[in-house]
Amino acid sequence: MSDLPYRAVTRTAKLASLPMGMAGRAALGLGKRIGGRPAELVAQELQQRTAEQIFRVLGELKGGALKLGQALSIFEAALPPEIAGPYRATLTRLQESAPPLPTAAVYRVLAADLGPDWRDLFAEFDDHPAAAASIGQVHHAIWQDGRQVAVKIQYPGAGKALSNDFAQLSRVGWLFGALMPGLDVKPVLDELRTRVVEELDYKLEAQAQQAFADAFADDPDIAIPGVVTATDHVLVSEWMEGTPLAEVIAEGSQERRDAVGMLLVRFLFSGPERARMLHADPHPGNFRVLPDGRLGVLDFGAVDRLPDGLPAIFGRLLWLMHHDGDIATVEHELREHGFLRPGVTVDLDELRVFLAPLAEPSRGDSFAFSREWMRSEAARYSDLRTANVARRLNLPPTYVLIHRVSTAGIGVLCQLDCTGEFRSEVLRWVPGYGPATETADVA
């Protein structure tokens, strides 16, 4: 596959190395236990080394596997920071350094999807990509009616590479059970496969983007570019000029970073009610700050379709954690919604410690997100007892993307180092928040 970094046989060999490495580490772990090392410490070491190999291999493959690696970031909650941190950094570096598609290949895709006279659709077309990612790249152009547009072009072979990678990975899905013993791995991998494959469908992405654009039309705070046209491998949208969020993170004033943080929270939490969808890829590259101060949002390939809005369990859990509710009721809610599988038990005091920071940003009227707070949370997660709670929790497939948004969104807010009255924004949009849950019948 000339347009992706590795041929199919090489990609398959790399993925096939995962179970062999796991077997070797298991044998080594058995030897250590026989030698007298505590079983819990040996198991933790085995999990760390397995995670390190999994994410290193996925990061090296790029293409479909890079997109898969981004999706698998849901497993980071079970990883110690010395693994999770470098993994995130590797994915970012690989995505930013993705080699551009040769101009001739760009022309072939445009001709195949828009017709041999595709140039007639544009007044101008810039051959040099304005941005490149894991499965495609974006070109700046001027549409035939004079509008500036972004032309998103999918790499030839990206779909096949992704399908092959996932088929291979599914055969060794049990490896992820070593990272999180409480996780029902197969349905989660099936859900991830469905979601990642959806990102290859540019027509589906166009539908989602236009639905968001309609829902936020004339909004004073949020801007979504409208769709001009879409095919299987080409998506043409209105061009959005603005300051990249990464630049605001690096150089923005405190006032500007605070304002952008509030807009980001407002967009993410209001989407499920206003558009009945959740934007599921909140990394800095997908946001711009427009000259008029609005937050511009890009890339709707990954969305969670929520026809009934955000599930009310999140509001119920927030209420319980904010009001120091009975932790047994919290455990009951988690079990009822599949976050704890039958037969899996957790220490309730450790569960409260584990969940408390998730509710902390909306407990008081104002909260300050910071890298220091994130580092303290990472250190707390690496504590053996707390990490054990994370590994015993299950992730129901329907909550995969919500979890992804929660972790990634908090990460961006900490990069912004922003302070704001996030509580009012969260409670405005999260259903189910109220005292009734404190009297819930506990099984």
Instruction: Tell me the pLDDT tens digit for each residue of 219-253.
Output: 999 999 999 999 999 999 999 999 999 999 999 99
Work out the pLDDT band at 192, boundaries 50, 70, 90.
confident
The yes-or-no verdict on residue 9 having pLDDT over 60 is no
The yes-or-no verdict on residue 398 having pLDDT over 50 is yes
Which one of the listed residues 258, 281, 299, 304 is annotated catalytic?
A: 281
Percent of the chain with pLDDT over 90: 47
Q: Which of 252, 271, 264, 254 is nearest to 294 (CA)?
A: 264
Q: Which residue has the higher pLDDT, 298 or 381?
A: 298
Work out the pLDDT band at 307, boundaries 50, 70, 90.
very high
**What does pTM read for this prediction?**
0.80
CB count in 10 Å sphere of residue 104: 7
Q: What is the pLDDT of residue 381?
A: 65
Q: What is the pLDDT of residue 413?
A: 94
State how far the Cα of 22 lies from the Cα of 27, in Å rounded to an integer. 9
Q: Which residue has the higher pLDDT, 95 or 30?
A: 95
> What's the whole-number average pLDDT of the chain?
80
Query: Is there a catalytic annotation at residue 281?
Result: yes
